[in-house]
A = this chain, B = another copy of it.
Amino acid sequence: MPVTLKDIAERVGKSVPTVSRALGNFEDISPETRAEVQRVAREMGYEPSATALNLKTRRTNTISLILPSYAQLRFSDPFFSAFLTGVVEIAAARGVDLSVSGDLGADVEAAYLKQIRSRRTDGFIVMRTQRQDSRIDLLRKHDVPFVAFGRVEGDNNFCYVDEDGTAGIRAAVDHLAALGHRRLGYISEPTHLTKSYHRYAGFREGVEANNLPYDPALVIEANFRQDSGRQSALRLLSMEKPPTAIVCANDLLALGALNEAQSRGLVVGRDVSITGFDDILLAEYTHPSLTTLHQPAQEMGGMVADILLKLVNKEPVEEPQIIIRPTLVVRESSGPAPT
């Protein structure tokens, strides 16, 4: 049975408010009473009821993240664990919990509305925005604090942390162009996610900036996973004039491509170059190791949490919009263009 203020009050023979104020170090409590109350509270292992406090203060000390069930993001986003860790670390340091819930595979808006209306949370983290994102619209409309991981198409006047996917892929293309590659293939994720769209934009930009020929047939829209990367690579490599390098929108796709290339007897990094995006733990340990773009996933999670907590506390947010430029990590999967 948990200890309440009342229990302490009975033990010290004072009223509940007195105990409350003694614990709060208020001036109108005599030093002796204060000391006595605090001693007893410690002895009894008192901890205020979070629920009662929530009700009184209208704060839940909880921030929410609703796992999207559209696109199996959770599986295909190797980023997620690290990001979550970053969020939890920052939140924990401020005494705030992260509530993770599901949208029941049905109505995303309903899931958000329920959380909002039942006042379960102080604010939301919106994972992996879509170009048109009803979650953002909803949260804005209800004036609920939130921070998005990603931007949207259109009005981006809200707090977000995002990767610079365009600059990332652009760096990969520049790298390949510098290695002499002229004919580049691109394996894209479905572009309803903003990040996928930005990454794709980076490809277009890079091709143009390096004066490479653009061939729409070399751009394939896959899903998020390896098998799809493999299939896409199959299509690219069976063309009569296949690309000498394949830029992939993420590491999993790149691993699929790697696999396909190898099973055709190609030596990756020599016969064909392949790049990824995300620098998942395994990128370094594939054979050959994968040239890719590194992102500080955990730090980004921390940034999102930090901004959100400031919003919730109505503290000023110095940098409400942060775009992180990924860094190119050159490994063995990319090499000079074959002559």
Interface residues, chain A, CB within 8 Å of chain B? 2-3, 45-52, 54-55, 60, 62, 64, 67, 74-75, 77-78, 80-82, 84-85, 88-89, 91-93, 97-104, 113-114, 116-120, 226, 252, 255-256, 258-259, 262, 281-282, 284-287
- Kindly provide the distance from the CB of A260 to the nearest chain B CB, expressed in whole angstroms: 10
Q: Tell whether A117 pairs with B2 under 8 Å between CB atoms, given A80-B81, A85-B75.
A: yes
CB < 8 Å neighbour of A287 from B81, B118, B259: B259
- Kindly provide the distance from the CB of A117 to the nearest chain B CB, expressed in whole angstroms: 3
Residues on B with C-beta less than 8 A from A101 are 88, 91-92, 97-98
Q: Tell whether A256 pairs with B285 under 8 Å between CB atoms, given A85-B67, A97-B99.
A: yes
Residues on B with C-beta less than 8 A from A62 are 99
**CB–CB A67/B88 < 8 A:** yes
- A285's nearest neighbour on chain B, judged by CB, is B255
Q: Tell whether A3 pairs with B120 under 8 Å between CB atoms, given A51-B54, A88-B67, A102-B89.
A: no
CB < 8 Å neighbour of A281 from B50, B98, B252, B262: B252
- Kindly provide the distance from the CB of A128 to the nearest chain B CB, expressed in whole angstroms: 14
- Kindly provide the distance from the CB of A230 to the nearest chain B CB, expressed in whole angstroms: 8
User: Which 8 residue pairs are nearest across A and B when measured between Cβ atoms?
Assistant: A92-B102, A47-B117, A50-B118, A51-B54, A50-B120, A97-B101, A47-B118, A255-B285
Residues on B with C-beta less than 8 A from A281 are 75, 78, 226, 252
- A259's nearest neighbour on chain B, judged by CB, is B285
- A49's nearest neighbour on chain B, judged by CB, is B119
**CB–CB B85/A93 < 8 A:** no
Residues on B with C-beta less than 8 A from A103 are 92
In the complex the two chains form, what is the Cα distance from A299 to B124 in whole Å?
27
- A59's nearest neighbour on chain B, judged by CB, is B51
Q: Tell whether A49 pairs with B88 under 8 Å between CB atoms, given A81-B80, A287-B259, A287-B262.
A: no
**CB–CB A100/B75 < 8 A:** no
